[in-house]
Chain A
Amino acid sequence: MVKILKDSYSVWWADLRILKSLWQRFLITSLTSPVLYLLAFGFGLGRGIEIGGVSYIEFVIPGIIALTAMNASFNGAGMKLNVDRLFYKCFDELLMSPISSLSIILGKSLIGVLRGLMVSSAFLAIGLAISSTRITPLFGLTLLLTCFTFSFMGVLAALLAKSHQDMATFSSLILTPMTFLGGTFFSLRDLPGWLKMILHLMPLVHSSRCLRAEALGRSFPWASFLVLLAFGIAFFLVCLSVLKRSSV
């Protein structure tokens, strides 16, 4: 176990070095979208609207935090791995090193988790300044789980991608629908049952529900938390399986 963690850190270490040299640029560019969402939807469209007894701005901030964690984690882990595999071709060096597949997957995911936590925490700071969002241990745990889940998803997409275009396609087909339908900007409560069922297949829906419940002081949706956990475990296991079968 110690060796697995040590090797994971070794894999993570290289990505940390790169992040260290460009973290300010990364933070500014990654915060652009969530801040624009906040301005456009929170202060623009949502002005004067109330959802479930709270102002729209209070409603939308936890959703944008989930969305930000999703994008930063997915891209933070997936895009770099994609470049390492297909452009720099240095991913093979990890495969030829005497470390386990588990360490490779964990190590490559951790950079996504860190990036996700950095950007979502920065946005959370903005949220705290303009709303009465509550932070609780469960809020932190859900945020961490969200980052892990989407980081594993990013690693999986990068392992399956045969070209850089494949990553863009994955983003368009999976992340973009989640961005607008994943419970970030509106409540799923009043949607038709069949649509609600489909949307609940999106991990972001469960992340938003959990974060929003904690931020607004409502009862915590444990079922959603468990679904998010199941998504995270599933992505991780599929990553492992894909990596083990990758030598053809």
Chain B
Amino acid sequence: MIVTRNLTKVYGDIRAVEDLNLEVRPGEIFGFLGPNGAGKTTTIRILTTLTKPTSGNAWIGGFDVVSQPQEVKKMFGVVQQHLSLDRELTVWEVMELHARLHGLGSRERRKRIAELLDYVGLAKQAERRIGELSGGMKRRVMVARALIHHPRLLLLDEPTVGLDAQARRRIWELIRRLNSEGATIFLTTHYIEEAEALCHRVGIIHRGRLIALGSPLELRLRLGLAAVETLLDDRVHYRYFPSKEEATAYVQSLPPEVKMIVVRDSNLEDVFVELTGRKVEDGEDTEG
């Protein structure tokens, strides 16, 4: 559904995306995991035709994003990281504008908008102005809007950023439901639990480069499924083992001066830290 070959975007001295080679398969939820500034949003902007790559290529559904932008635009629906809604319009009007832009006829528009507002649980809010809605509701309007033209691909840039736990769960349910109904989903996130909870495959991006690719389980297996944290000399040390049994055996061999011992499942945060030496939440020095 999405293919990129040596995709690169350079802003001045900053290489926001570098030699990105990626393939997102139809029907999967693919997560692009990385800290703020790693190049996730730049990649989305290139895929959505808002930004031209410096070099390399990207295709959506076989169409080149640079030379065939109109065909590409019909393929995807997008939910941007920031709120991108005209706050002076009502929920229905936002939906209707988007339906018109995608060429839906009058009867089809009405039916589709009613259907989608019901789908995202906003049917009763249809006549309310966007400015009057909560953050979670606005995000759901954006999801509904992105679906208006039955896109085969949904691009979600940090879909739950800034939302409370309940609103986040609601968006997750929505994403799973959309995927189960056939939509391919490409999402970017810097939330580890989001990538683990939702994605069939995850690409880890760091300083514009793809540094690991696989299912959450595959990525953890490379490191070890069990993690042991120990506090020694005022520093936390991490060790990884293929199984809990091996981790437990290691713990039993530790000297008595080790103050704290935690045995737990490893996660994608561990994978990221091992690969980059920093945490996902730390962010990057660059924009992107």
Residues of the A chain whose Cβ atoms lie less than 8 Å from the Cβ of B145: 93
What 10 A-B pairs come out closest when comparing CB atoms? Answer: A10-B100, A97-B101, A98-B73, A14-B97, A89-B84, A90-B86, A18-B88, A90-B84, A98-B74, A98-B70
Main DSSP-derived SS at the A contact region = helix
Assembled-state Cα–Cα distance A7/B100 (Å) = 8
Residues of the A chain whose Cβ atoms lie less than 8 Å from the Cβ of B50: 92, 95-96, 247
Assembled-state Cα–Cα distance A14/B145 (Å) = 15
Residues of the A chain whose Cβ atoms lie less than 8 Å from the Cβ of B100: 10, 13
- The verdict on B102 contacting chain A, using a C-beta distance below 8 Å, is yes
Partner of A97 from B73, B83, B89 at Cβ < 8 Å: B73
Residues of the A chain whose Cβ atoms lie less than 8 Å from the Cβ of B80: 89, 92
Tell me the number of A-to-B contacts counted with CB atoms below 8 Å.
Answer: 63
Scan B75-101; emit 1 where CB is below 8 A from any A CB, else 0. Answer: 000101011111111000100111011
- The verdict on A161 contacting chain B, using a C-beta distance below 8 Å, is no
Partner of B101 from A7, A84, A89, A92 at Cβ < 8 Å: A7
Chain A residue with minimal CB distance to B92? A17
Main DSSP-derived SS at the B contact region = loop
Assembled-state Cα–Cα distance A10/B57 (Å) = 32
Asked whether, in the complex, the Cβ of B89 is within 8 Å of the Cβ of A18, the reply is yes
- The verdict on B48 contacting chain A, using a C-beta distance below 8 Å, is yes
Asked whether A93 and B98 contact (CB < 8 A) given A88-B86, A247-B49, the answer is yes
Other than the known A89-B80, A90-B84, what 8 A-B pairs have Cβ atoms closer than 8 Å? A10-B101, A14-B86, A17-B89, A88-B85, A88-B86, A89-B84, A95-B50, A96-B73
- The verdict on B128 contacting chain A, using a C-beta distance below 8 Å, is no
B100 shortest CB reach to chain A, Å: 4
Asked whether, in the complex, the Cβ of B49 is within 8 Å of the Cβ of A84, the reply is no
Chain B residue with minimal CB distance to A246? B50
Residues of the A chain whose Cβ atoms lie less than 8 Å from the Cβ of B276: none
Residues of the A chain whose Cβ atoms lie less than 8 Å from the Cβ of B85: 88, 90
B200 shortest CB reach to chain A, Å: 25
Residues of the A chain whose Cβ atoms lie less than 8 Å from the Cβ of B70: 98
Residues of the B chain whose Cβ atoms lie less than 8 Å from the Cβ of A14: 86, 89, 93, 97
Chain A residue with minimal CB distance to B11? A248
- The verdict on A28 contacting chain B, using a C-beta distance below 8 Å, is no
